[in-house]
């Protein structure tokens, strides 16, 4: 019986360690999509409110989320808000084709080897993680609708009002 309970506990262990609200943001540095020789470090954004967005060219809801996130970024960046888009395509060319139709102004990173997706335990596309100024994930969004955009805006406003 103990062996069975131990096996059950091990099977549930990954669920218990899922990246959710209250978790620290993983300390990742990723190659930039446009300039792979340069990187984007999540740790360097500490002190800002950051939305980490996992997206891909094949993700239908990403066609809605990317412009909405770009609008939020442009509206709030002067107040300390940043967005980092982490692309899940296998090749940068797929992402670049998508961005010709859906351009954004926030920084984009590559994750072709899935290191970031594994660190964040991404379960759906798109997936977004709203991080406070101290590096703590405060909200997790899986999928995207018009209602999601409104919720994210309210969450950003609240986090920007918090003291660093």
**Residue range 57-114, pLDDT digits in tens:** 999 999 999 999 999 999 999 999 999 999 999 899 999 999 999 999 999 999 978 9
In a domain, 72, yes or no: yes
In a domain, 30, yes or no: yes
As given in the structure block, the two tokens for residue 156 are 């950003």
The tens digit of pLDDT for each residue in 84-96 reads 999 999 899 999 9
Report the pLDDT value the prediction gives residue 12, as an integer from 0 to 100: 35
CA distance 162 to 124: 29
Paired with 41 in beta bridges are: 29
Instruction: Mention every residue, 6+ apart, whose C-beta is less than 8 A from residue 87.
Output: 33, 55, 56, 57, 95, 108, 109, 110, 111
What is the domain count for the chain? 1
42 domain-assigned: yes
With pLDDT > 90 as the criterion, what percentage of the chain qualifies?
A: 79
Q: How many other C-beta atoms lie within 10 A of the C-beta of residue 124?
A: 12
Give me the CATH number covering residue 145: 3.40.30.10
pTM score, whole prediction: 0.87
Q: Classify residue 4: in a domain, yes or no.
A: no
Q: What angle do CA 110, 125, 16 make, to 5 degrees?
A: 95
Largest CA distance in the chain: 59
The pLDDT of residue 7? 35
So what's the pLDDT on residue 76? 97
Instruction: Tell me the mean pLDDT in the region 36-51.
Output: 94
Q: Please check the confidence at residue 116 and state whether its pLDDT lies above 90.
A: yes
Cα–Cα distance list, 86 to 2, 11, 13, 36, 93 (Å):
42, 29, 26, 13, 14
Residues 6+ apart with CB under 8 A from 111: 30, 54, 86, 87, 88, 117
Q: Is residue 2 part of a domain?
A: no
Range of the domain at 92: 21-161
- Round the average pLDDT of the chain to a whole number and report it: 88
CB distance 92 to 60 below 8 Å = no
Q: Is residue 1 part of a domain?
A: no
Report the pLDDT value the prediction gives residue 146, as an integer from 0 to 100: 87
């Amino acid at each position: 019986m103990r062996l069975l309970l131990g096996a059950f506990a091990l099977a549930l262990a990954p669920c218990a360690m899922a990246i959710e609200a209250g978790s620290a943001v993983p300390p990742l540095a990723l190659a930039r999509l446009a300039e792979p020789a340069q990187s984007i470090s999540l740790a360097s954004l500490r002190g800002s409110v950051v939305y980490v967005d996992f997206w891909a060219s094949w993700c239908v809801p990403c066609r809605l989320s990317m412009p909405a996130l770009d609008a939020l970024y442009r509206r709030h960046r002067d107040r300390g808000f940043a967005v980092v888009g982490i692309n899940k395509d296998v090749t940068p060319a797929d992402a670049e084709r998508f961005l010709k139709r859906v351009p954004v102004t926030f920084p984009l990173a590559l994750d072709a080897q899935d290191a970031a997706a594994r660190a964040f335990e991404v379960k759906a596309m798109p997936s977004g993680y709203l991080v406070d100024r101290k590096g703590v994930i405060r909200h997790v969004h899986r999928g995207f609708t018009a209602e999601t955009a409104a919720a994210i805006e309210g969450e950003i406003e609240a986090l920007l009002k918090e003291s660093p």
